[in-house]
Structure 1
Amino acid sequence: MKLHGYYRSSTSYRLRIALNLKGLDYTTVPVNLLQLEQREDAFRTRNPFGGVPMLEAEGRDRAQSMAIIEWLDDRFPERPLLPADTEGRFTVRELSYAVATELHAPLNLKVLQYLKSEFGQSQEAVDRWYRHWLANTLDPLERRLAQLGTGDFLLANPGMFEAVLIPQLYNARRFAYDLSTSPHLARIEDACAGLPAFIAAHPDRQPDTPKED
């Protein structure tokens, strides 16, 4: 398998975590979003959505990270990312898709760039936009976790929810979002931070991570 992605893309990051949790081997193919490589004809021919990640697997170019994660769980049922029981699967999907659908759309790079290029917004204004939408979803997510009475992870082991959550919290910290009132989110983040699957997937450890001088 080949994973076409960008080191700091939250969707590429979540897919790296998912692949690592399942113990699947893959090669990383960097796609530089800042240089708009995802919009080049050669890439769009393979992925009409013009975004990352794209996973080459079993003779097909697969797009949309959440669909890929669910496909991975169907295709490689060992080390499942979702539990077997219906209620558990609903819980994982409810929280995972809250992050994936409510946060990724208003906070991805092309939206932030559009706010600047088309509406003349300053970086400070863009940062406020980012933190507003984070609170809009992370606050109720924190309340749901409190209702569920979670431990180090949503369920017994890290899975799809943690794969989706951790990249978003990484981005939240980049934009100086205050997580001090989110103890359940912070506890899950801390528990994941020491696990090999999450360490290897971190943006600082990717082949396209900019090297410090």
Structure 2
Amino acid sequence: MIRQNEKEINILFTSKKSAPWWKSISIEPVVFLYMLAVYINIPTDEALLYRQVCYKLYNISLCNSMNTNKINKIDIYESMEDIIQKHASIYVMYFNFVYSIPSIFISIMCGVWSDKYSHKIPMIFASIGCILSTIVNLFVSVIKYNLSIEILFFSNIFLSLFGSTSTMFSVIYNYISHITTIENRTQRIAIIESCLMFGSTIGLILSGILMDLTN
């Protein structure tokens, strides 16, 4: 009887031991890929906006020569850049408005809904929005000419309506708090933070490479 109780205690003790951290990975790759895509888009959004504003205000050949012939006629290019920045800042304000206002309400609704039903669906929708935003940017970068600047609004609209980064982050941390215990929660959050950092860093590096290839 005593030996049987000892076996039950040993089984209970071993079952409570936490599994290796790599066996508990579930959402971390999604977080990494999402941050990778978001931070590839951020610099390219600005570069595409500046280029399309230049095409709207000036001759296409003159805009294309700005990056290749900056040594010659530098005063002309500096004045062009100042005018482009002034016009682009207005569009940036509109883009931020389109992105921020809907995402506030959607993030609140998704946070409440995910706690009651499912955390995965809001994350899937946020990923789809990021993919659609990337497709818009790719379309603009390939077509380049004869495109309205307003097309870039769809990039921010998709991100906002399908769940912005605020929605993604709130759902991620809610999901982690539901699937972890007190013992391993700190470790899982640290892994999530590492995925956020590495995904954003690699995304910024890749965005610079992609912009160099498309220019």
TM-score when scaled to structure 1? 0.28
Greater strand share, structure number: 1
Which entry has the higher C-alpha Rg, 1 or 2?
2
Which structure has the higher relative contact order (CA within 8 Å, separation 6+)? 2
TM-score when scaled to structure 2? 0.28
Greater helix share, structure number: 2
